[in-house]
Amino acid sequence: MGLCFDSIMDEIAKRPKDSKLYLKMGKHLLFRGHFSESLGFLKKAGKLGDESFDLDFILGKVYLFLSCSEKSIYHFKKALDKIPNHKEVQYIIDTLIEERHFKIESLSVSTVKELFDSYADHFENHLLNKLHYKTPKKLVKFFLEKVEKKEGPLSVLDLGCGTGLFASELERELKNCLLVGVDLSIKMLKEAEKKDLYLKLYEDDLFNYLEKEEKQNTIFDLVVACDTVPYLGNLEGFFKKSCGVIGSESFLLFSFEVLEGLEKDWLFSSNGRFKHSFDYVLSLAKKNNLRGELRFETLREEKGERVKGCFFLGRSIKMNEMAKSS
């Protein structure tokens, strides 16, 4: 289990009654995916008198990964009593309690930021190794299959760039990209920076950023949002503002999770993200003068199940027609 495990065990051997050390080990094991082992150390911390927010918060997470949702809700509620208004805890409780799903219209910027700041250091390990996350790779493949390679560099705006997984995949296939990334989470951006792929990285809400660039008449060849749309409910503003920075030869590309069988455009769901219906995505494409193409895909696995998703690629119609008639 590694050096860190050994050094915490050494500390425990020296101070066996120190509850903080058991909590530290519980966190360490949780972030490495050893949930049952983590639980043993956390319970010991509780027995030794730890009543901290942290202990309930981590216990809530461990029970969540062990699929014990009632115990998980119990600990998250206890944690919220200790720090009311804690955004991440509130978000998880809203996710776990099904009746709340129909009431949630959007996530606040601070909730998303807090969520990804706390996830950043184990994001890639968890997604790539545990959830078999292949969305960036598949989205790049879809894009390259549909689009003719252009001469010269491709300017790309990566909305919700996270740790830069999409950018790495794109760079692997196309060597000459000029990448700009935007994300709310400074910690995700710090991970992205390490990859040394982006010309610029901005810590900003993607809507603010798009507005600023539109005012400066910036045009990108490709605006992409890889696994970012599931954190947005209503997509009207997303389409409108993204289309403000694409030209006649440019593309809007994104992945989304599919909402089926309900007469709704989008819905917050039990995985803590929004799902969107095809009809909704296609109607917004039409409204914004984009010719849209869709492709079904498996995005990742959750609790052994495949998460059904879809890729969208939009090209501008209006501007092409204007160009033709001039």
Ligand X SMILES: C[S@@+](CC[C@H](N)C(=O)[O-])C[C@H]1O[C@@H](n2cnc3c(N)ncnc32)[C@H](O)[C@@H]1O
Residue choice 160, 233, 309, 314 for contact with ligand X (CB under 6 A)? 160
User: Read out DSSP for 99-144?
Assistant: GGGGG-----HHHHHHHHHHHGGGHHIIIIIIS---HHHHHHHHHH
- Among 106, 103, 45, residue whose Cα is nearest residue 75: 45
What are the φ and ψ backbone dihedral angles of 297, each rounded to 5 degrees? -150, 155
Does residue 142 interact with ligand X by CB under 6 A?
no
> If binding means CB under 6 A, how many residues of this protein chain bind ligand X?
20
Place of tokens 């920076």: 193
Does residue 277 interact with ligand X by CB under 6 A?
no
Does residue 112 interact with ligand X by CB under 6 A?
yes
Quote helix, strand, coil % in the chain, to nearest 5. Answer: 55, 20, 25
Does residue 162 interact with ligand X by CB under 6 A?
yes
Q: What is the strand order of the sheet 154-159 is part of?
A: 200-203, 177-183, 154-159, 220-225, 246-257, 305-316, 290-302
Of 1-60, which residues contact ligand X (CB under 6 A)? none
> Tokens standing for 306?
């495949």
| CB-closest chain residue to ligand X | 162
Of 68-107, which residues contact ligand X (CB under 6 A)? none
Name which of 92 and 188 has its Cβ closer to ligand X.
188
Name which of 72 and 135 has its Cβ closer to ligand X.
135
> Tokens standing for 237?
């503003």
Name which of 91 and 231 has its Cβ closer to ligand X.
231
Minimum CB separation of residue 93 from ligand X in Å reads 20
Q: Phi-psi bin for 28: left (phi > 0), alpha (psi -120 to 50), beta?
A: alpha
Minimum CB separation of residue 62 from ligand X in Å reads 22
Does residue 121 interact with ligand X by CB under 6 A?
no
Minimum CB separation of residue 186 from ligand X in Å reads 10
Other beta carbons less than 10 A from residue 313's beta carbon: 23
Q: Residue 25: is it exposed, middle or buried by C-beta count within 10 angstroms (0-12/13-18/19+)?
A: buried
Name which of 82 and 141 has its Cβ closer to ligand X.
141
Minimum CB separation of residue 179 from ligand X in Å reads 12
Of 204-243, which residues contact ligand X (CB under 6 A)? 205-206, 226-228, 231
Of 170-209, which residues contact ligand X (CB under 6 A)? 182-185, 188, 205-206
**Sole window of 22-30, 60-68, 161-169, 307-315 interacting with ligand X (rule: CB under 6 A):** 161-169
Give contact residues for ligand X (rule: CB under 6 A). Answer: 112, 116, 135-136, 160-162, 165-166, 182-185, 188, 205-206, 226-228, 231
